[in-house]
């Protein structure tokens, strides 16, 4: 992810981050990508709670990964 | 100008009385000589219900500063006071307070650092903290302590500045010596300091005031590595630069209320001075007395008291001292292994590029509270006159008042 970083005059006061962590897409840091076998998935939701990035949602009734994180 | 009341206060009491009138939200402190009277007296104000302050009796100075940081981050006005080893124990938190841009006010009753243990005055404690990012104001007498403890809030909270402020008063010489102090009414102080203003920043849910508020969340001081830390340090560089402008402006407002004005520097008899001493704190009162004595004998002596050491008033000093032949620097702290004391080094650096510059010598004096009577100051002026006669300073760093 190449982007021009802001200079010191543009950065917010008081070392407040210039963007929220929601905007930091860290998905490309991973070396493995999770895939679900929905035939075997029991919808126990454990993966949702285990995911350290909180990137696994259940809005569709089954697990879905937001691969941006 | 509002009417004022004359009170007999020592330096510590003057600080406590000013802070009582400021009525901050939080005071967190741990007692240490010679600062103890400040928080002792303030805790009485709390016990008597004269202030609305939450007084936190913490278990160490590290906790005192941490508590003030937390309070100030949440938007409160926070005050603490310390000295010597207490200030040393706060060390890492000093940098955090300044980097997070929290306008905390702290009184430092300057005292020599151990070892060997010594409770008396020199500037080794606050001089060590000169790179921590705090504004530093040095006081000459109790009146200045009182006034600085009020002005400090406006300086630190100025929207161009937003930095913590250290009000330095010489231990015992000021902290425990009673003097007449003109005090403003509570109302005048309240009107002068007003409410703490906040910078607007972009929080996680849109624009927010720079204070921790669960309704408008924002993050302060997260991990900041080689790609952003440097830029954030530039913010501090800029804030100090702006403080140089803000301090005289606020001082002018204070003059309208109190009739007293301090600015960055106090020159005395400098118009035609050939030799001058420059220094910080209570000793400068003695120096002024000696200047009068020397002037009576026809010696063109002058002096400059530096009230504000951080930010360093470079241009003002260049202007003030460029025509003086010899300047002696009074350093009440030594930087071991360095070319000289801290004020000496910085003053020399300021003049390195100047076409017109004085010869500059250093007088390290008063370490551990060593008495500095007028005859010793006179000895320093004689040394400057000797340098003037020779046209050069052979011995640049001198130790005034030590036994050889």
d(CA B361, CA B88): 29
In the numeric block, which tokens belong to residue B299?
Answer: 């010696």
- At A2, the pLDDT band (50, 70, 90 cuts) reads low
**Nearest Cα to A65, choosing from A53, B342, B60, B156?**
A53
Does A61 contact chain B (CB < 8 Å)? no
Provide the strand spans (E) within B215-316: 265-268, 275-279, 301-306, 308-310
**Of the residues B206, B223, B258, which one is the last residue of a structural domain?**
B258
User: Do B277 and B253 lie in a common domain?
Assistant: no
Average of per-residue pLDDT values in chain B: 97
B325 occurs within a structural domain? yes
B318 occurs within a structural domain? yes
C-alpha angle with apex B47: B43 to B48, nearest 5 degrees?
115
Does A23 contact chain B (CB < 8 Å)? no
Q: Do A20 and B204 touch (CB under 8 A)?
A: yes
Give residue-wise pLDDT tens across range B101-131.
999 999 999 999 999 999 999 999 999 999 9
Among B201, B204, B221, the residue with its CB nearest the CB of A13 is B201
CB contacts, 8 Å: B222 with chain A: 15, 17
Give residue-wise pLDDT tens across range B142-197.
999 999 999 999 999 999 999 999 999 999 999 999 999 999 999 999 999 999 99
B328 occurs within a structural domain? yes
User: Do B186 and B281 lie in a common domain?
Assistant: no
- Delimit the domains of chain A by residue range: 32-69
User: Do B294 and B247 lie in a common domain?
Assistant: no
Among B210, B227, B238, the residue with its CB nearest the CB of A14 is B210
Does A24 contact chain B (CB < 8 Å)? no
Number of compact structural domains in chain B: 2
Q: Where in the sequence is the domain holding B13, given as residue range(s)? A: 5-198+239-258
User: Do B132 and B63 lie in a common domain?
Assistant: yes
User: Do B37 and B119 lie in a common domain?
Assistant: yes
**Nearest Cα to A46, choosing from A36, A56, A37?**
A56
Q: Do A17 and B199 touch (CB under 8 A)?
A: no
Closest residue on chain B to A10 (Cα): B231
In the numeric block, which tokens belong to residue B200?
Answer: 């607007």
Among B162, B202, B238, the residue with its CB nearest the CB of A12 is B202
CB contacts, 8 Å: A22 with chain B: 204
Which residues in B199-211 are b (16+ Cβ under 10 Å) and which e?
bebbbeeeebbbb
B77 occurs within a structural domain? yes
B210-214's contacts with Cβ under 8 Å and 24+ in sequence apart are: B210/A13, B210/A14, B210/A16, B210/B101, B210/B162, B211/B73, B211/B74, B211/B75, B212/B73, B212/B74, B212/B75, B213/B74, B213/B75
d(CA B81, CA B91): 14
Q: Mean pLDDT throughout A6-29? A: 86
Provide the strand spans (E) within B38-94: 54-57, 78-82
**Nearest Cα to B320, choosing from B397, B268, B256?**
B268
Q: Tell me: cis bond preceding B48? Omega within 30 of 0 counts.
A: no
pLDDT score recorded for residue B208: 94
Strand partners, B302: B276
Average of per-residue pLDDT values in chain A: 88
Does A1 contact chain B (CB < 8 Å)? no
User: Do B163 and B292 lie in a common domain?
Assistant: no
Among B222, B234, B235, the residue with its CB nearest the CB of A17 is B222
CB contacts, 8 Å: B220 with chain A: 14-16
Is the confidence at residue A1, as pLDDT, over 60? no
Q: Do A14 and B199 touch (CB under 8 A)?
A: yes
User: Do B247 and B325 lie in a common domain?
Assistant: no
B15 occurs within a structural domain? yes
User: Do B139 and B280 lie in a common domain?
Assistant: no
User: Do B16 and B108 lie in a common domain?
Assistant: yes
Among A5, A11, A16, the residue with its CB nearest the CB of B218 is A16
In the numeric block, which tokens belong to residue B394?
Answer: 């052979």
CB contacts, 8 Å: A12 with chain B: 201-202
Report phi then psi at B278, rounded to 5: -125, 140
Q: Do B218 and A5 touch (CB under 8 A)?
A: no
**3-state secondary structure at position B180:** strand
**Nearest Cα to B307, choosing from B143, B125, B102, B129?**
B143
Minimum distance, in Å, between the CA of residue B15 and any CA atom of chain A: 28
Is the confidence at residue B210, as pLDDT, over 70? yes
B211 occurs within a structural domain? no
User: Residue B121 maps to which CATH number?
Assistant: 3.40.50.970
Among A5, A15, A20, the residue with its CB nearest the CB of B221 is A15
Is the confidence at residue B291, as pLDDT, over 70? yes
pLDDT score recorded for residue B204: 85
Which residues in B350-389 are b (16+ Cβ under 10 Å) and which e?
bbeeeeebbbbbbbbbbbebbebeeebbbebbebbbebbe
What is the count of residue pairs from A and B with beta carbons less than 8 Å apart? 51
User: Do B365 and B320 lie in a common domain?
Assistant: yes
- At A4, the pLDDT band (50, 70, 90 cuts) reads confident
User: Do B246 and B355 lie in a common domain?
Assistant: no
pLDDT score recorded for residue B381: 98
User: Do B28 and B153 lie in a common domain?
Assistant: yes
**3-state secondary structure at position B400:** strand
């Amino acid at each position: 992810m190449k982007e021009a970083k802001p200079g010191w005059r543009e950065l917010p006061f008081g070392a407040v981050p210039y963007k929220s962590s929601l905007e930091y897409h860290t998905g490309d840091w991973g070396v493995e990508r999770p895939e679900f076998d929905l035939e075997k998935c029991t919808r126990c939701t454990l993966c949702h709670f285990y995911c350290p990035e909180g990137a696994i949602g259940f809005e569709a009734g089954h697990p879905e990964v937001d691969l941006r994180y | 100008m509002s009417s004022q009341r004359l009170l007999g206060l020592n330096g510590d009491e003057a600080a406590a009385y000013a802070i009582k009138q400021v009525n901050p939200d939080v005071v967190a402190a741990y007692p240490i000589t010679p600062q103890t009277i400040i928080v002792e007296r303030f805790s009485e104000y709390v016990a008597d219900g004269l202030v609305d302050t939450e007084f936190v009796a913490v278990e160490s100075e590290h906790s005192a500063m941490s508590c003030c940081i937390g309070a100030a981050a949440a938007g409160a006005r926070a005050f603490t006071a310390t000295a010597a080893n207490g200030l040393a124990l706060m060390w890492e938190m000093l940098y955090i307070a300044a980097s997070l841009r929290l306008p905390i006010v702290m009184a430092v009753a300057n005292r020599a650092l151990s070892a060997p243990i010594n409770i008396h005055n020199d500037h080794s404690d606050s001089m060590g903290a000169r790179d921590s990012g705090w504004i530093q104001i040095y006081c000459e007498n109790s009146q200045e302590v009182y006034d600085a403890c009020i002005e400090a809030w406006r300086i630190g909270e100025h929207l161009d500045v937003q930095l913590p402020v250290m009000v330095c008063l010489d231990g015992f010489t000021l902290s425990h010596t009673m003097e007449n102090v003109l005090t403003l009414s509570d109302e005048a102080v309240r009107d002068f300091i007003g409410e703490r203003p906040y910078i607007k920043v972009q929080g996680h849910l849109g624009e927010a005031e720079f204070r921790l508020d669960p309704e408008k969340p924002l993050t302060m001081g997260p991990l900041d590595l080689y790609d952003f830390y440097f830029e954030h340090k530039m913010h501090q560089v800029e804030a100090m630069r702006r403080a140089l402008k803000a301090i005289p402006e606020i001082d002018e407002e204070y003059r309208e209320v109190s009739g007293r004005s301090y600015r960055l520097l106090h020159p005395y008899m400098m118009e035609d001075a050939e030799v001058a001493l420059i220094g910080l704190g209570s000793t400068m009162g003695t120096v002024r007395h000696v200047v009068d004595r020397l002037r009576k004998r026809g010696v063109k002596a002058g002096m400059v008291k530096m009230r504000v050491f951080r930010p360093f008033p470079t241009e003002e000093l260049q202007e003030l001292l460029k025509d003086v032949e010899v300047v002696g620097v009074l350093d009440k702290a030594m930087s071991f292994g360095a070319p000289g004391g801290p004020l000496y080094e910085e003053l020399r650096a300021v003049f390195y590029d100047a076409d017109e510059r004085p010869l500059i010598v250093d007088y390290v004096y008063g370490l551990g509270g060593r008495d500095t009577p007028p005859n010793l100051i006179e000895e320093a002026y004689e040394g400057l006159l000797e340098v003037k006669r020779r046209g050069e300073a052979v011995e640049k760093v001198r130790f005034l008042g030590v036994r050889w």
